[in-house]
A and B are shown apart, each in its own frame.
Chain A
Amino acid sequence: MSRIVILEERCKGCRLCVEACPVKVVRPSGRFNRQGYEVVEMDGKCTGCASCAVMCPDAAIRVFKSAGKSREGAGA
């Protein structure tokens, strides 16, 4: 399964990724980072499309795509 990793100290909790995710697996986590922002987390089956990372203004998302699928990662 593909996954995203949130670099929590970079996240500012703007939630543009939550909006951008086409399969709605990114959600606010209820946890706060050192700057006091509520960070997001992944919950569910990620497709590795990288839409969240494309919209992230703070480069806080790293995307790993599981191999074996025919579709290539989107990048951007």
Chain B
Amino acid sequence: MTSANDLRPRPGEKLVFDVNPVLNERVTHYCPGCHHGIAHRLVSEVLHELGVAHKTILVASVGCATFTYDYFNVDSVEAPHGRACAVATGVRRARPEAVVFTYQGDGDMAAIGTGESLHAANRGEKITAVFINNTVYGMTGGQMAPTTLVGQKTTTTIHGRNFSNEGGPIRLTEIMAQLQGVAYAARCSLDSVKHVKEAKKAVRRAFDVQLAGLGFGFVELLSGCPTNWHMTPTAANKRIATDMIPVFPLGVFKDVGAAEANAVKEPGNA
């Protein structure tokens, strides 16, 4: 068992990894192996590094991530289902000094809230949207999402998603990258150590463009849902690599501030 002494560095040791103060101590309600926890940590680390947590306002969405506001030590607003970007628009315009971000799943942002999200992005609102794509409606019990892969079995597509009936997975990052108001659009994955580190850089850039006033920052994070995929967390991670990434290619699709970002690039930003 761990004792209080174990939690402190012993002589000759250095604490190299710990929770940052933006994420609070509460144990999350997410299922074992759910990538929401990793996404929360990345966002909190970025806010901590930027030193903006005290003036950050989180706009929470509806879905598994509804209780996001319980885990961040920042001010927050709960938006109606799908309307986080619209609420964030109002928050940012009323409080121009604040750093505003939304945290939305695929049911929230890519289904019920597509209109609000795309139009907020198109207006170039100075907000950051973190979009969690796990190809399924998690909270309501594993129904088909717009992002569900063709052939994937869900509780509403029991023989697998059929393209001629239900269409194909919506690629939101590519759509976002087409819009003039979007300053940064990237898709990352949370399935491996390398990809998580890349994801953190993308989240950082999505906040950088907001702080620089360049426009809408968007980052899509491919995540696992072991519970609704009926897999172990390890198998779910493998599914992201084998099934999801070929359909949802990773990469930065738009970055209008890339040149100036390189100029102010900080060392040691893993």
- Could you tell me which A residues sit within 8 Å of B by CB distance? 2-3, 5-10, 12-16, 18-20, 35, 37, 48, 50-51, 53-59, 61-68, 73-76
Contact = CB atoms under 8 A, between A and B. Distances in A.
A32 B237 CA distance: 24
Contacts of B14: 64-67, 73
Interface stretch (B3-11, B133-141, B146-154, B246-254): B3-11
Nearest to A11: B32
B15 interface: yes
A19 B6 CA distance: 24
Interface stretch (B62-70, B118-126, B192-200, B257-265): B192-200
Given A54-B196, A76-B200, A13 B23 contact: no
Interface residues of B, number: 40
Contacts of A3: 13
Interface of B: 1-2, 6-7, 9-10, 12-19, 23, 27-28, 30-38, 41, 45, 192-193, 196-197, 200, 226, 232-234, 237, 268, 270
A66 B13 CA distance: 4
B203 to A, nearest CB: 12
A59 B19 contact: yes
B252 to A, nearest CB: 19
B16 A63 contact: yes
Those 10 A-B pairs whose CB atoms lie nearest each other, nearest first:
A73-B16, A57-B37, A14-B33, A63-B17, A12-B32, A14-B32, A14-B233, A53-B17, A50-B17, A64-B13
A64 B16 contact: yes
B193 A54 contact: yes
Given A65-B16, A74-B17, 16 more contacts: A5-B2, A5-B7, A12-B32, A14-B32, A15-B233, A50-B16, A57-B30, A58-B27, A59-B23, A62-B15, A62-B18, A64-B10, A64-B15, A66-B13, A73-B17, A74-B270
B196 A55 contact: yes
A1 to B, nearest CB: 9
B33 A54 contact: no
21 contacts: A5-B6, A8-B2, A10-B27, A14-B226, A14-B233, A15-B234, A19-B234, A35-B27, A54-B17, A55-B38, A56-B38, A57-B37, A61-B17, A63-B15, A64-B13, A64-B15, A65-B13, A67-B14, A68-B12, A73-B17, A74-B17
